[in-house]
A = this chain, B = another copy of it.
Amino acid sequence: MLSKKTQYAFHALVHLAENVDKGPILISEIAQEKNISIKFLENILLELKNAGILGSKKGKGGGYYLMRPPKEIALAKIIRLLDGPIALLPCVSLNYYERCENCRDEAVCGLNEVMGRVRDSALKILENKTLKDILTRNN
């Protein structure tokens, strides 16, 4: 499961994406709209800013805004930034790989193979779906 942090981030980003044309948006507005603790959200938005995903403006009329158009922000990027690995096992993670300490040879491990597939199938979606895709539902 994704952490609350990542979940909140997604909801906040959606709100920012829905209001791209309205200039900087207040943390407090997002917090209220999405029912998130304002102080916690503050930290999250700051982290997104430090990663180059958000920009901000201080003082009156300030707030946060997206640094790129919603369709250029992939969901996988947000998850990796705030939650770490997307893979189910360390030995199968592309960005946070760690050697398996319970099997003799990963190249021969069937678990490694299957979990690699699960990772691929998740990434196929998460790397290609963007903020824009989660603004509205298209069934």
A102 touches B1 (CB 8 A): no
A101 touches B2 (CB 8 A): no
A133 touches B117 (CB 8 A): no
| Residues on the B chain within 8 Å of A111, using CB | 10-11, 14, 134
Number of copies: 2
B122 touches A118 (CB 8 A): yes
Question: Secondary structure at chain A's binding surface: helix, strand, loop or mixed?
Answer: helix
> Chain A, 107-120, contact with B by CB distance < 8 Å: what is the 0/1 string?
11111111001100
Distance (whole angstroms) from the CB of A93 to the closest CB of chain B: 8
Distance (whole angstroms) from the CB of A78 to the closest CB of chain B: 11
| Residues on the B chain within 8 Å of A87, using CB | 1
Distance (whole angstroms) from the CB of A132 to the closest CB of chain B: 9
